[in-house]
Amino acid sequence: MKITEVKDLNIEGIKIIKLQRFSDERGYFTEIFKESDFLNNEQLGFFEKETKFPQCNESFSKKGTIRGLHLQWNPFQGKLIRVIHGKMIDFALDVRKKSPTLGKIIGHEMNSDSEKDSGEWLWIPPGFAHGFLALQDTTIEYFCTGEYSPGCEMGISPFSKDIDWSICDSDIKKTFDSISQGESIISDKDLNGISMNEWLSNTNSEQF
């Protein structure tokens, strides 16, 4: 596994991890994950030595689907996300009460372009509500640092008026607004999620 670049996004802790693809006339080969490289690479020092990924999920979403914004505690969930097929915008909302970016959201566009010389992971650590918008029919895979715990999850509506979009790329925000006001697909559960202020008033917010 060859890691070619680790890049910070606009909120501290959220990272892009690029992996080299070895290409020839047949296509390409790449190691997408090797535990020893993740836990011993100097560029990935933000991973603790005891970090484990006990659960891996695959999700398919039709074009225009909005999922999220989801968060979990007990156990906390960090997510390592990649696009297998398609194109999406991934979103992370900071829900950490002591964070200087509390209430702010950012988005990052990801795709499965096989012509690129590298693959890409997005790392979202615990303390964020996560969601995405499928720009095409899209399949994603994500490793989680904690197993799913249905009694310890919460959803913040991506349409909550008190989410702060000020540090999100303006083109990404425009794309989200355009699709969400048009023919988007979203579950009732996600659509009717709580607001950011309601989350901050919830006793479980003290855990972050």
- pLDDT (tens digit per residue) in 115-147: 888 999 999 999 999 999 999 999 999 999 999
Note the pLDDT of residue 1. 77
Note the pLDDT of residue 179. 94
Spatial CB neighbours of 71, under 8 Å, sequence gap ≥ 6: 77, 95, 128, 129, 130, 153, 154, 155, 156
Note the pLDDT of residue 189. 95
Note the pLDDT of residue 41. 76
Low-confidence residues of the chain, pLDDT below 70?
A: none
Query: How is domain 3-207 classified at the architecture level of CATH?
Result: Sandwich (2.60)
Note the pLDDT of residue 206. 94
Measured in whole angstroms, the distance separating CA 16 from the mean position of its chain's CA atoms is 10
Note the pLDDT of residue 204. 94
Note the pLDDT of residue 11. 96
Task: Give the residue among 137, 155, 32 at the shortest CA–CA distance from 91.
Answer: 155
Q: What is the value of pTM for the model shown?
A: 0.93
Residues annotated catalytic, as ranges:
70, 142
Contacts 24+ apart (CB under 8 A), 95-103: 95/71, 95/127, 95/128, 95/129, 95/156, 95/196, 95/199, 95/205, 95/208, 96/127, 96/128, 96/208, 97/200, 97/205, 97/206, 97/208, 99/127, 101/11, 101/12, 101/167, 103/162, 103/163, 103/164, 103/196
